[in-house]
């Protein structure tokens, strides 16, 4: 199974508009971070995790020309507002693209992108609208997506819940403040763990910081942990030096095998 990090930044992205800090001005491409997106591939099948605002650019950079399904973790703008860029896949295939969304967010997604499910929009000549097959899932009930078997894991994220998941020997948990105690056993024996981590110090009310993410990594004991959803307070090479063995900073375009 191949995992491609399409975007590894927070909701502001990096560089941050109007910021002249060392990271935002850095010439190191690893410090340029789009909003969160992840591609999972195996045996010619592709599942996209989240649809960030930079989705088109991320897909072009990764050479993606087809998709089999999409998994949405939660409806915050930085994880969702590239939804319209999915239209090329339904146009090209001639069939609806399955998009899997937590049941509790179905109405919000349909409301925010109401034109996608408006028959008049689809019937209007010269208009290209995504043709999506919206499917729902719930916490801790295993689902099949594009031939991948996923266990969704809802984690607290302020007033929201963000739905991470386990697939095979890999797991992805982004935009989470903690891992529920009753989910820890479901995340044992991992080869690859992907965790969101904002910065060092200053605990955040809805996200893990680096110290908290490292503690989670140690508790779960994955062979390799990759930190994503990083802010401009983290310089890639410095973070790489400071992290313990087995924990690595992800960067846009990074590909790992599991």
Q: How far is CA 242 from CA 4, 159, 217, 238, 246, in A?
A: 23, 32, 15, 6, 12
Q: Specify the pLDDT at position 124.
A: 83
Question: Both tokens of residue 216?
Answer: 């989670």
Distance, CA of 190 to CA of 165 (rounded, Å): 12
26: domain CATH number is 3.60.15.10
Instruction: State pTM to two decimals.
Output: 0.97
Residue 120 clears pLDDT 90, i.e. is over it: no
* 197-252 residue pLDDT tens: 999 999 999 999 999 999 999 999 999 999 999 999 999 999 999 999 999 999 99
**Structural domain for 87, as ranges:** 2-257
* 122-162 residue pLDDT tens: 778 878 899 999 999 999 999 999 999 999 999 999 999 99
Residue 105 clears pLDDT 90, i.e. is over it: yes
Distance, CA of 128 to CA of 245 (rounded, Å): 48
Residues 6+ apart with CB under 8 A from 183: 140, 153, 155
Q: How many domains does the chain have?
A: 1
Distance, CA of 72 to CA of 65 (rounded, Å): 20
* 36-69 residue pLDDT tens: 999 999 999 999 999 999 999 999 999 999 999 9
Please answer whether residues 37 and 55 qualify as being in contact, where contact means their C-beta atoms are separated by less than 8 angstroms. Answer: yes
Average pLDDT for the chain: 97
Residue 121 clears pLDDT 90, i.e. is over it: no
Q: Specify the pLDDT at position 122.
A: 79
């Amino acid at each position: 199974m191949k995992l491609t990090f399409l975007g590894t930044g927070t909701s502001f992205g990096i560089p941050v508009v109007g910021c002249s800090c060392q990271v935002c001005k850095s010439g190191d491409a690893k410090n340029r971070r789009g909003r969160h997106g992840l591609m999972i591939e195996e045996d010619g099948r592709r599942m996209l995790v989240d649809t960030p605002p930079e989705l088109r650019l991320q897909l072009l950079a990764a050479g993606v020309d087809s998709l089999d399904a999409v998994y949405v973790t939660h409806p915050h703008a930085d994880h969702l507002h590239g939804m319209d860029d999915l239209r090329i896949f339904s146009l090209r295939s001639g069939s609806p693209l399955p998009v899997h969304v937590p049941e509790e967010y179905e109405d919000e997604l349909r409301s925010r992108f109401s034109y996608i499910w408006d028959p008049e929009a689809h019937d209007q000549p010269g208009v290209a609208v995504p043709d999506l097959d919206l499917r729902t899932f719930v916490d801790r009930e295993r689902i099949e997506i594009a031939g991948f078997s996923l266990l969704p894991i809802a984690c607290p994220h302020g007033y929201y819940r963000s739905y991470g998941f386990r697939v095979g020997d890999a797991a992805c948990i982004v935009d989470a403040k903690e891992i529920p105690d009753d989910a820890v056993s479901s995340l044992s024996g991992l080869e690859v763990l992907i965790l969101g981590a904002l910065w060092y110090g200053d605990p955040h009310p809805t996200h893990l910081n680096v110290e908290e993410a490292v503690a989670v990594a140690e508790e779960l004991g994955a062979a390799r942990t990759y930190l994503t959803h990083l802010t401009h307070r983290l310089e890639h090479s410095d973070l790489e030096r400071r992290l313990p063995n087995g924990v690595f900073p992800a960067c846009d375009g990074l590909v790992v095998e599991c």
